[in-house]
Amino acid sequence: MRKSMIPMVFLLSTPLAAFAGETWSGAGEVYGRDGKRLGTYELTLTRTEAAKGVVKQVVTVKLPDGSVRETRCTMSGGGNGWGSVCEDGRRGGGMCLGDGMCLDYVADAEGAFSTTVAKDGEDRMRLVHTELKGGQAVRFLRETLSRVTE
């Protein structure tokens, strides 16, 4: 899995600071446009409050060969939406539509990720990421995450 394939998992609701200190973990699968499964991975998502209304998020992906990739993003905003800036150059934002459904979009010069999340209660969420190149879907990623409790 290329580094560009690591989507940014996003906040489920606002205010942003309400999600600082959360850790989520789970598994994901990558699919081609033809629906064929291309691979699997494990991931962990950690959020920390950087300032009022600003959350730093780190997504760590572990591939089957043992290699690890990280994506670091900063999200800020208020109301129902947020903006995001990632260290790898991607920028975007998102919003929640109520009833545990949220959308997010991040892009750079190489492509973009459009993400839909469905929150299944307080401790579980499912995500579908669409990787876009030249405005066309090239790959899909599916994840199921559970909240890590200490």
- Helix spans in 96-149 (H): none
Residue 81 in tokens: 């939406």
| Whole-prediction pTM | 0.84
Q: 39-85 pLDDT, tens per residue?
A: 999 999 998 988 888 889 999 999 999 999 999 999 998 777 889 99
Domain ranges of the chain: 3-147
Fold of 3-147: Lipocalin (2.40.128)
SS3 98: strand
Asked if residue 74 lies in contact with residue 50, where contact means CB atoms within 8 angstroms, the answer is: yes
